[in-house]
Chains A and B, each alone.
Chain A
Amino acid sequence: MFDFTAVLITGAILGAAITLLVSWLRSKNIGLKWYEWLMSLVGLALVIMAIQHFMGSQIEMYMTAGWFGALAMGIPALILFVIVWRLVAVRQKAS
């Protein structure tokens, strides 16, 4: 079950964030390797799942589960984003 407003707001925020990020990458002339795109997409999927789980747990009224799940999916997402950032940063520095 989805709370339509929450989905709309989450989608708008994520959409804006991704648009800004891609624009920034283009402005800096930074290209991503295929595996960096893959890791980013997996990370993004995990973030979306973490948000959905957290909101779903509110509906289920199991908030401990909501926090645990959000952390369980959010932390790996964060790790993936950091790895991608470091890979890009190292490559940029080398070039």
Chain B
Amino acid sequence: MGLEVQGGLLMADLLDIIIVGIYLCALLGIGIIASKKIKNCDDFICAGKSLGFWLFTVLMIGTVCSGMSLLGVSGFGYLSGWPGIWEQIFVPLAISFCVIFFGVKLQHVGRSAGYMTVQDYFAHRFQSPRTLRGLSSVAGIIVSLIYLAGQYTAISIVLMWLFEIPHWMALLIAAVIVTAYTTLGGLYAVAWTSLFQGLLLLIGVLIMAPLVIMSAGGITHVNEVLAGIDPNLVQPAFPASYAAYAFCTPEFLFSFAILLMIGLSCAPHVINNVLAVKECRYFKWVPLVSFLVYGLVMFLIKFSGFAGRAMVADGLLSLPDVANAQDFVFVYAVQYATQSVYLWGIFAVIILAAVMSTTDRLMLTVGSMFGWDIYRNVLKPKAKDSDVLKISRITTVVAAVITLLFAINPPDILAFLIWMGIGVMLSTFAVPLLAGLYWRGATREGAIASMAAGLVASGVFGYYYQFVAKLPMHFSIYAVTCSFVAMVAVSLLTARNDATVLDETMTGWYIQPK
């Protein structure tokens, strides 16, 4: 650990180990209790479609609130100042967007048609039980695995920082715990642990963030320091891209809004949650409640990033001399603000809670996409339910092992792929989903072309943006445009799907039918 509190260090280390140990045991305990409820695939993948209002709301927040929500959000605040505040509006809006524009219809149709994953919807709506289901599952699994590797990296940063243990050991501890409870308890365990971890996160941030802001001299002083560094750091957007940190120009923020709001909402690990809700009446207040709760947490974390920048400028804090040092600002600012080593264990638990709640959902999504969509619906349609459950569990473990190997020995391209993650989700899934739900003219061929075009274009534009030249907007906006053009052009040239199927899947220009 970074601070020189020699006397209490040994005791603090022991206390930190106990705190984190209790937390990890609690997760495991929840997994064991949840495992008693798993009787079939529906229980494992959709928690028996029994999630209540708060379980669903917190599951959505926990799924969206990834490892980078604490480290990356404050780091982004440190780097970009107020022009980056829009991230804290767009990300919580992803949940509202998902519930309103996808959830209402999908949950209703899914309940009568027996959907387990969003791929069931694709197969039904586009009358493509194998091709589109297979393509979207493979794309979903690849993107989820990449995203998962990023989550494991964030977990290892926290455990390495707290316990000064080797990278591989930190990863292994986290992976064993999260894999155990996810494999045992499926979505029941993921939802229950999310509730537990969401409460920890909320309470922790409500205590830690104000402490950090007060230690930096209060919000007014923080803003004055930011304005002294660069007057544009307190503006709502940068007027032009005049420096590496000044990329949040108005046009970039527009693409950022689309990326975060729609890209996150159509990610398989997020959208699948709407199929597990017990009653559709919960969709009434979830958009507002999740926006307010998650928005409050995110704003406080962003303000902590601003405060960290002011503390560094005032000479109160210095960041480590490593790449992306800004991502450590929340950790270092809390260390400075609390001074007490005894609080660090609790703080580590808060960060782990944010990371774990996304990691478990991603692993379950990979397991269910392979077990249910590929094994049960493409490879072996007559497979028994118990076999599908077994395969889903095995795939969840395999997903953990693969990503762990990537995270322990990260190839050079991994950082690039993680950075691409949400952009690929937007480019691949947004157009087929939105067109499928709201445009009766969208055809199977259009959906396949749109998905393939989005996937390829995101690779091309992502590479160009990162390695050739910066574009005025986020690369995904160009890729999603290609996906949109492919959907419209190919759909207009091919025959429409059956009207019966379009009626069954509630396809049309409405959210709720009159």
Q: Do A and B bind each other?
A: no
Using a CB–CB distance below 8 Å, which chain A residues touch chain B?
Answer: none
